[in-house]
Amino acid sequence: ALREMDETDVTVFDGVPTMFWALLNYAEADRFDLAKISKNLRVCASGGSPLPLEVLRGFESKFQTKVLEGYGLSETSPIAVFNKYENTRAGSVGFPVWGIEVRVVDEQGTDVENGELGEIVIRGHNIMKGYYKKPEATAVAIKDGWFYSGDIGRFDAEGFLYIADRVKDMILRGGFNVYPRELEEVLMTHEAVSLCAVIGVPHDEYGEEIKAFIVLKQGATLNENELIEWSKERMATYKYPRSVEFRETLPMTATGKILKRELR
């Protein structure tokens, strides 16, 4: 990708978060004319899964460009929410696009207050008609014209939407809801951490316990106890990981999304 950017004067780059991470951490990046790439690169767009703040800020700093995050699903054709170039907020996926309504609701389908977490539901001309030959699944996903995304999020006071996590990825530890993405954002700020994923694993006492999978930066050293102690200082008692597994890579889909189901 860097070679293509260098040789063809790429002005726009669209990718999923792991692509931005790979470009940011490519060990041989200095072989290319990064100043030229940065001069030509006007804007980038990220989607598919939340972009870690550390990656976003690092990429924008290294390539001197703006990264716009958006949100949507295959069922929403796919974009439903996107940041505006002139009005962005780091960590947010922006505002609903034209003709599309987005709400954040509780388990009863009632809107929650700004700042509170709930399920993201979407209505508009972009919503699918249904799942092919799956009327039961369609009825669960679409209620009164609203598509229930299965994603947890919140609005701030200015209408920016933030994605917390997938409902199915939420960890229930001792009666507390723990959202892996929140923990992953903190872990990514450690100077030795290059990439991470957090999951819940079965536990007799708490129902689920928190486990982190870590890919270290090239040349970095870190052990399990050091990272757990570091995490204790930055996370609530019920949130920090109790176990850590270090890996060379994490399993990913063909489009670069981390496959958490293969880590469980």
Kindly report the CATH class assigned to 2-64: alpha beta
Question: Could you give the strand order of the β-sheet that contains 243-246, starting from the edge strand earlier in sequence?
Answer: 193-203, 207-216, 243-246
Domain definitions of the chain by residue range? 2-64, 71-167, 170-262
Domain 71-167 CATH superfamily: Luciferase; Domain 3 (2.30.38.10)
What pLDDT, in 10s, does the model give residues 199-248?
999 999 999 999 999 999 999 999 999 999 999 999 999 999 999 999 99
Q: CB under 8 Å to 143, separation ≥6 — which residues? A: 109
Q: Is the per-residue pLDDT at 165 higher than 90?
A: yes
Q: Say if 2-64 and 170-262 have the same CATH topology.
A: no
Place of tokens 């699944």: 137
Q: Is the per-residue pLDDT at 163 higher than 80?
A: yes
| Whole-structure pTM value | 0.90
Q: Is the per-residue pLDDT at 27 higher than 80?
A: no
| CATH of the domain spanning 170-262 | 3.30.300.30
pLDDT bracket for residue 254 (50, 70, 90)? confident
Q: CB under 8 Å to 28, separation ≥6 — which residues? A: none
Summary mean pLDDT of the chain: 96
